[in-house]
Structure 1
Amino acid sequence: MLPYLLMLGFVMFWIVLEKHALNRTSFWLPLFVLTVFAGFRSDQVGTDTTNYTRNFNHQINAEYFQFNDDIEIGYQLLEYAILNFTSQYFWLLTITSFVIVYCYLKIIKKYSVNYWFSVFLFITLGVYTFSFNGLRQGMAMAIFTLAIPHLLEKRLIPYLLWCAIASLFHVTALFIIPFYFIVNLRIKPTYKVFATFIGSLLVSGLLVSYISSTNDRYESYASASTEAGGFLTIGFYVALMILLLTARYIYKIKDVAFQKLLTFYASGVVFVIPLAILGTNPSGPQRLLAYFTWALVLIVPMVFKRINNVYLYMLSIVVFLLYFILTTSRFSDLSPYLLNPTFKVLL
């Protein structure tokens, strides 16, 4: 766990230092550090990483690469392109990590009212480390974030385009399309959230069955699970949703971007709750939750800026840090962090 904490500490230190020394929002060094940290890891870090590095470990020549109808074409083309010039999986992890971190930091820099705190949440909430397990969906989620400006500014066509591009890496990105209409409907946010929950109750069973039947890789999505990690995670995000909705009411936060982001987040959380009630595998449909929870990196700083209480900042840092330690070490199989054997000479 120590490498993760050292990485987090260094990134936070540099962002604060650059802001105070140069009055500049740090972008490129955090991007570099977070990319290298992800790219230099061993494929033993994360439960699914070895599935992505199999062709590299088997030294597959690009001309013998076989495209699989069950895997999204965008990811396969990327892997094929990398195999054309190297069989080192370091390049796969580094290139994908660069794209993922770049997309998130770009949106954070544009919309965050407290950049260092947003990056802190980006790491501690597991948004950054999500791709350490689900690389394809991690790519899809990151690309989808580029649709957020269009969601907020009510530009449907570009929003659909980014969702389509994201779906080339994981088909689940297509399920986020209806939330454009949910967020931008001219009715009270509370009604939107409630209607989404009821709708999910009605269709969640059919949705899980459909996903699991369309692709052999998703058969486990419909299997029951009693893993504590899934329920703990959903419970955590439901609690945050309630606190944020309460804060919006008490402090009368009327900012349009905040309202839309909170509606997007809350709708996504209640949409996934029925999937959890079904007892589905946390690594399956509940992974849809991550398309929405990343929005907390923008929402929480907005609320905290309005409350403006230093003790609340201190308490939240402790809570999110504990959450980061718990999820990284217990539920994600990301600890211990192991270096790619190719780079152990650096130690």
Structure 2
Amino acid sequence: MFELLPIIIIGLVFAGISEKQSKKIVNDSGIVYYEKKDVVFYLIAVVVLATFVGLRKVYNDTGVYIDQYNSIELTGVFPNFLFNDIDWNISSNFGFTIIMRLLKFLHFSDQSFLMFFAFFILGVYFWFIRKYSNNIFLSVFYVITMGIYTFTMGALRQCIAIAICLIAVDCFLTKKYALFVLLVLFATTFHQYAFIFLIVPLLSFSPWTSRTYIVVFLFLIGSFGMQSILEAIDDFTLAMGKTYSTGSFSGKGVNVFRLIVVWIPTALSFILKDKLINDGSRAENLFINLSMINAEIMFLGLFGTANYFARLANFFLIFQTISLPVIIQKYPVAERKFLTTGSIIGYSLYFIYANTIAQGGFDNNYFGISFFDYINNIFV
């Protein structure tokens, strides 16, 4: 974690300065709203965090993507070579293939290929957070400590699909429904499970109404029918970035600490369920409901198949970073301070555990180059 920690601290410092430079107003209920949000310091934080991701050589599936990019051979003339011999089956992730070919045509090195997507993914993530969070610093902090940040260093296609779907969610909230559908369909060409975002229009209702309990009931039914679900997974395994079988998914369940982390916003929202039913914007309702979906998918992982369900749940994990500050702010003022402090301590401990103990620790799985080495190898 010693390579990761300095970058995290720098990113959080600039995110904190950005929070201080932003202007806020407080209404009669003690709810804080942004009157003006800082741009400059926030962008510095994003650039620092994205650059570190783009400089990696080894982490999770990174080597697989580098090999895939380096194996591309362009045949024919522009633009025909972008589409030659493309497998248009949705499970082939042809959108990702076309973009890789375009970057190859522009003579991007394999490191620039990683850097390009690092800036796209994290740029979109943090744009979305800046637009919708009611506490930008806390949301950036949660992105890091919940594991979203380090996840972008490995699951490249999935993270690209999530970023595209966040743009789609913004279109949904601004009532550009046709564009929402088109963007979700486009995201499926990078990772076919992105189609799960088509449930978004069904989830803008107030949390903890009767529809919430219907969704919870359906997930409970799913957990007890796990073996039947596993039999249907084989047809979709190409979307995971590697070739998996149901045997690969039938291992141990999700880490209990990770499960607790993702259930905290749902538990806190349940305590406030009466207030949430009557007091919540369309965006707030949607984000809280998507956070619940994330927690419920992770709950399914208790019954085995941790690898599969943890990745599936990660499609919605970023919504927890926005919904948690929203939920905390709806508590009485005195309790807000306690909950905020408690979440900072708790998520920090989880971050340390996840990057030092779990899966061999971050330092044992990560290798990156220096920024100056990258400057000398932007193009090939």
Same fold (TM over 0.5): yes
Work out the CA distance in 1 between the residues paired with 2:74 and 2:189: 20
Work out the CA distance in 2 between the residues paired with 1:147 and 1:21: 29
Larger Rg: 2
Task: Name the structure with the higher helix share.
Answer: 1
Work out the CA distance in 2 between the residues paired with 1:194 and 1:339: 42
Work out the CA distance in 1 between the residues paired with 2:286 and 2:269: 13
Unaligned runs of 5+ residues in structure 2 are 24-37, 376-380
Matches within 5 A, 1:113-192: 113-152=134-173, 156-184=177-205, 188-192=210-214
Matches within 5 A, 1:66-77: 71-77=92-98
The aligned residue for residue 34 of structure 1 is 49
Flag the 1:170–1:332 CA change in 2: closer, same or farther, 3 A.
Answer: farther
1:218 CA drift (Å)? 4.6
The aligned residue for residue 293 of structure 1 is 317
Answer with 3-12 or 327-336: which moved more.
327-336
Counterpart pick for 2:74 among 62, 72, 85: 62
1:210 CA drift (Å)? 3.2
Whether 1:82 and 2:103 are equivalent positions in the alignment is: yes
Work out the CA distance in 2 between the residues paired with 1:100 and 1:112: 18
The aligned residue for residue 273 of structure 1 is 299
Work out the CA distance in 2 between the residues paired with 1:194 and 1:22: 38
Matches within 5 A, 1:194-273: 194-198=216-220, 200-201=222-223, 205-215=227-237, 217-220=242-245, 223-227=248-252, 230-249=255-274, 254-256=279-281, 257-273=283-299
Whether 1:5 and 2:22 are equivalent positions in the alignment is: no
Work out the CA distance in 2 between the residues paired with 1:305 and 1:201: 33
The aligned residue for residue 15 of structure 1 is 15
| 1:113-161 residue CA offsets vs partner (Å, 9 max, x unmatched) | 1111111111111112212121100111121111223444565433322
Flag the 1:177–1:251 CA change in 2: closer, same or farther, 3 A.
Answer: closer
Is the contact made by 1:139 and 1:169 (CA closer than 8 Å) also made in structure 2? Answer: yes
Work out the CA distance in 2 between the residues paired with 1:129 and 1:30: 15
Counterpart pick for 2:369 among 332, 340, 343: 340
Between the two proteins, the alignment pairs up a number of residues equal to: 341
| 1:285-319 residue CA offsets vs partner (Å, 9 max, x unmatched) | 43110112211111111122233433332221121
Provide TM-score, normalisation by structure 2. Answer: 0.77
Unaligned runs of 5+ residues in structure 1 are none
Flag the 1:252–1:73 CA change in 2: closer, same or farther, 3 A.
Answer: closer
Work out the CA distance in 2 between the residues paired with 1:207 and 1:154: 34
Q: Percent identity?
A: 21
1:38 CA drift (Å)? 0.4
Report the secondary structure of 1:219's partner residue: coil
1:50 CA drift (Å)? 0.7
Work out the CA distance in 2 between the residues paired with 1:253 and 1:344: 55
